[in-house]
Amino acid sequence: MASEQGPLPHLLVGITFVTGLVDAFSYVALGHVFVANMTGNSVFFGFALAGVGDVSVVASLLALVAFLIGAAIGGRLARMSRPHRGRLLAAACAAQSVLVLAAAIVAVTGGPGSRAVRLPLVALLALAMGSQNAVVRRLGLPEVSTNVLTTTLAGLAGDPGGASSPAVRARRVAAVVALVAGACAGGALLRWVGHSAPLWAAAGLLLGCAAVAFAAARSPRAAAWH
């Protein structure tokens, strides 16, 4: 029920939109590497090992390693502290926004074209996305994974009879729409505004999500979705 989850579903859909923004930036501006979608990035790493396609072995491997480190840190902190889910998400979004802001500053000052700048950008963004994924897994809404659609799409297609609740189906659809919309927005910002624009937008949205989650966790109704 909605009261059992509070604003979490809406916030996770917003974070899924952020994932689209960030992966649009990484794929287009950093040279065929994903920093959030590790399924696709693992495939790219295989391509790079085989020497096919314009894919960097170093960038793909760095993204994988940084994502795993971020996930390990995020998961450990979530297990150790066990705060209200709203506070946990607020802290995660705030920390992630700092990493994305740092990446935006690096992109502005150095430009993402050179290898010396590209690799730090990959590391910062993959670290942020890994920590996000680990925290989202602790929130108890598996239908909104924020950074991969394979399971979400399978859930939609594999439930034609409506065994899942309308709320679950709505979240799955919203997650798909949000990721596609975020990628589209990221591409448009890259094309029409500037190479760092998706990162500034992502950082701003993450700060907004952090503020909403923190405020909601302090409200009188917060105990209903602890």
CATH code of 134's domain? 1.20.1250
Enter the pTM of the model.
0.93
Going by pLDDT thresholds of 50, 70 and 90, the confidence category of residue 104 is: very high
Residue that wins the pLDDT comparison between 111 and 94: 94
Q: Is residue 163 in some structural domain?
A: yes
pLDDT at 2 over 70: no
Instruction: Work out the average pLDDT over 133-144.
Output: 85
Non-local (6+) Cβ contacts of 164 within 8 A are 143, 155, 172
Instruction: Work out the average pLDDT over 1-26.
Output: 88
Distance separating alpha carbons of residues 148 and 104, to the nearest angstrom: 23
Distance separating alpha carbons of residues 156 and 145, to the nearest angstrom: 14
Q: Do 26 and 34 meet the contact criterion of CB atoms below 8 Å apart?
A: yes
pLDDT at 113 over 60: yes
Q: Is residue 2 in some structural domain?
A: no
Among the ranges given (36-40, 134-138, 142-146, 189-193), the one the predictor scored with the smallest mean pLDDT: 142-146
Q: Is residue 56 in some structural domain?
A: yes
Q: Is residue 59 in some structural domain?
A: yes
Which domain, by its residues, includes 137?
A: 9-225
User: What domain count does the chain have?
Assistant: 1
Distance separating alpha carbons of residues 182 and 54, to the nearest angstrom: 24
Q: Is residue 139 in some structural domain?
A: yes
Q: Is residue 4 in some structural domain?
A: no
- Burial-class residue 109 by CB neighbours within 10 Å (0-12, 13-18, 19+): exposed
